[in-house]
Structure 1
Amino acid sequence: MTSVTQSTGMLTREQLFHLFDRFIFLTSKPDVKKRVAEAVQDKQEAVAVTTAIQEEIFLEMGVDPRFGISCLGKLSTVYENDLDLVIQFYKFLSKEEVACDEAELGEEEFAEKMLNQQKLQEQQLEMLKYMRKFHLEDQSAILEKLHQQIRNGTYESGTSMLSAEQIDEIVPRKASPQYTPRFSYLSDQHRTTNKKNLNT
């Protein structure tokens, strides 16, 4: 076993995909679920255990754990044009959230959360299908907005979603600073017309 670990540069796509796959595999195993649950019973933070699991995977890969974790924080910026990788990153974050919830919530509350999670994932899939209709440059702008929203929302449920209307706002505004949302403009015009009619 080599003692040399990677601690500079940036993780490659292949390394990141390996991390995501390995983490999802491990957190699905009963013994790992038990490890997280027991940590919560001992008043530890579930996320501290899932982070420790990620660090263990990095060590297996020959990557310095602190460096690996820091790379995850830069992923959306460094790989902003790699839609497939960004999608897998959000799936990875979602899996970590599920692993923590399963350990922290009661059985009934967790089942309800999973149902909501499934609905959210279906909505995310529709969002991603819709995003693919745009040029790569516009996709990058959408992903950056999504990343900001998730970061500001501290990964709360619903922050990893943008509606079609929100996406439509991001793209035209980026393309043209003069952009005015059509429906808002028409509503103002309609109100003005109604006022004139009432005054005559």
Structure 2
Amino acid sequence: MASGSQSGGMLTREQLLHLFDRFDFLTSQPDGKKRIAEAVQDKQEAVAVTTAIQEEIFLEMGVDPRFGISCLGKVSSVYENDLDLVIQFYKFLSKEEVACDEAELGEEEFAEKMLNQQNLQEQQLEMLKYIRKFHLDDQAAILEKLHQQMENGNYERETSILSAEQIQEIVPRNAKVDQNLAFYDEPFLVHA
């Protein structure tokens, strides 16, 4: 550990946001992408390289890298009341996953995965728009059912969608839906 580096307490909100921004910048640059891809070609784990990049950022910040990495495991609980920071943290994790996928998958397979993910997100958005038509109690019941489905499916991406038909089965038949809003065809197919 470098002398004078932070090694106790918890990283501040500003330190975490700096890490997230710097990591995103470095891993989106051609040199950063090349570094991760070359490591994968050398049979190294992509996540080992992204972790090394995070450790380098911590050193730049004057933070002991082991301490900084350990703080990342506590962000959700320590900052649970800071919704914006928690969202930024999950975006950071997602960007790390994308950087690893891009290095591990070929260019064509990565592009296909990103397209599939975009389609899934669009379907999720359509589902959420449809759910918003129901009363809050019904929305809670629908989201609880969705959570159970995801849990039972080991949180596979495909389990994060309920069809309009499935939603109709969850809510009571007399549930009023705002008829002024457009009804989305089951199963929230997105037209590419």
TM-score interval, smaller chain: 0.5 to 0.7
Structure 1: how far apart are the matches of 2:121 and 2:4? 39
Match of 2:178 in 1: none
Q: Secondary structure at 2:28's aligned position in 1? A: coil
Letter in 1 for 2:59: L
Distance of aligned partners of 1:77 and 1:12 in 2 relative to their CA distance in 1, 3 Å threshold: same
Q: Secondary structure at 1:3's aligned position in 2? A: coil
**Percent identity for Structure 1 against Structure 2:** 76
CA RMSD of aligned residues (A): 3.3
Deviation at 1:59, TM superposition (A): 0.4
Letter in 2 for 1:90: Y
Deviation at 1:104, TM superposition (A): 0.7
| Aligned pairs for 1:15-26 within 5 A | 15-26=15-26
Deviation at 1:157, TM superposition (A): 6.0
Letter in 2 for 1:158: R
Deviation at 1:185, TM superposition (A): 8.7
Q: Spell out, residue by residue over 1:53-84, the C-alpha distance to the aligned partner (whole angstroms, 9 max, x if none).
A: 00000000011101101111011001111111
Please identify which structure carries the higher helix content.
1
Match of 1:114 in 2: 114
Structure 2: how far apart are the matches of 1:77 and 1:112? 34
Structure 1: how far apart are the matches of 2:47 and 2:99? 9
TM-score by length of 1: 0.62
Structure 2: how far apart are the matches of 1:64 and 1:111? 36
Match of 1:48 in 2: 48
Match of 1:61 in 2: 61
Do structure 1's residue 158 and structure 2's residue 157 form an aligned pair?
Answer: yes
Letter in 1 for 2:21: D
Deviation at 1:29, TM superposition (A): 0.4
Q: Which runs of 5+ in 2 are unaligned?
A: 137-143, 163-168, 174-192
Distance of aligned partners of 1:120 and 1:57 in 2 relative to their CA distance in 1, 3 Å threshold: farther
Structure 2: how far apart are the matches of 1:163 and 1:80? 26
Q: Which runs of 5+ in 1 are unaligned?
A: 135-141, 165-181, 187-200
Structure 1: how far apart are the matches of 2:74 and 2:43? 30
Distance of aligned partners of 1:50 and 1:24 in 2 relative to their CA distance in 1, 3 Å threshold: same
TM-score by length of 2: 0.65
| Aligned pairs for 1:1-200 within 5 A | 3-120=3-120, 123=124, 158=157, 183=170
